[in-house]
Amino acid sequence: MNGDRLNRKSLNVTPLRLQGLVDRSIDVLESLLQDREVSPLDRAAIALKILEATGVNVRQTLPSVNVNLPNSPLVLGGYVQMENFLSPSENKQALEIAIASADQFVASTTTTGAVNYRESSILYATKFPEYYQFMKHRILETLPQVLSQLKHPPFTVTEVEMQLTAHHNGGYYKIHNDSSSAKTKTRTITYVYYFYDQPKAFTGGQLRLYETELRNGVAYNKETFKTIEPINNSIVFFDSRCKHEVMPVSCDSPNFKDGRFTLNGWLRRAED
Ligand SMILES: O=C(O)CCC(=O)C(=O)O
Ligand SMILES: [Fe+2]
């Protein structure tokens, strides 16, 4: 039906009846807005419609708020990079742990089980409990600043996952995000701390962070990306839903100590 012709006259509605309808409609919307059984996204959509009907331009009024408004998919791609994250001796200690535990690394896998998707080896944090605790505290004390720079809402961290990952000659990790399986969906922020022996013996190994569009909770990477150099003693934080990739590593040295190492992991929130 043509909206212009849908007016009070053509429906033959009295002003009083119309006012009653408007009042009841507002009541329905108001109760939906407060109904916890209605998903936050649906409530946001209702709130947006009401605001738009009242003439408030939300996109103009709240340009810096990182909310997933209907019709405007959330785009991720921001990151925080900090250089000289640890003291020189703490940085050296990470390399010492990696070297001393060289025979305890295991081949990495992916949650989807995809083959030829990733080439690296991992040392689980249970093998370095003291350093895990130390690093966990450093990360948690940095988090408020990181979240504010990422414009990410604060959340309660329920777990800090950590592993020590080594990429040697031919190592890589193709495009993925860190939170798209049932087991990983509460991963919220990814961190990657880079370290290696100097002089640096490898080339490549950059982190590519793709602009990522979230539509109905599914992440799609765009063509555009930022390139992050894995600088010794630097750390990078980003939203775990953001798509990323580790570019191939080339290294002439056959020595384990000459690899590209990371202490990397994820800050988890509680289940919804
Ligand atoms: O090593 C990096 O730069 C990123 C590692 C990564 O993406 C991961 O372990 O999930
Ligand atoms: Fe990742």
- Please report the atom of ligand 1 found closest to the CA of residue 262: 1
**What are residue 162's DSSP bridge partners?**
265
- CATH 2.60.120.620 residue ranges of the chain are 74-268
Q: Which of 173, 195, 210, 267 to mutate to test the pocket of ligand 1 (most atoms within 8 A of CB)?
A: 173
**What are 64-115's pLDDT values in tens digits?**
554 555 557 789 989 999 999 999 999 999 999 999 999 999 999 887 878 8
**The pLDDT of residue 234 is above 60:** yes
Query: Where are the alpha helices (H) located in 54-111, listed in sequence order?
Result: 58-61, 88-100
C-alpha angle 139/163/248, rounded to 5°?
Answer: 105
Question: Which residue did the predictor score with more confidence, 171 or 5?
Answer: 171
- Specify the pLDDT at position 81: 98
Nearest CA to 139 among 182, 191, 101, 176? 191
The sign of the CA dihedral 110, 115, 117, 118 is positive
Contact 225, 191 (CB under 8 A): no
> What is the mean pLDDT of the segment spanning 238-250?
98
Would you tell me which CATH number, out of the four given (3.40.50.300, 3.40.710.10, 2.60.120.620, 2.40.160.40), belongs to the domain 74-268?
2.60.120.620
**What are 105-152's pLDDT values in tens digits?**
999 988 787 888 999 999 999 999 999 999 999 999 999 999 999 999
**The pLDDT of residue 272 is above 90:** no
Q: How far is the CA of 264 from the centre of ligand 1 (A)?
A: 7
**The pLDDT of residue 270 is above 60:** yes
- Please report the atom of ligand 1 found closest to the CA of residue 264: 9
- Please report the atom of ligand 1 found closest to the CA of residue 190: 10
Give residue 13's pLDDT band: very low, low, confident or very high (50, 70, 90): confident
Residue 17 DSSP SS3: helix
Q: How far is the CA of 109 from the centre of ligand 2 (A)?
A: 12
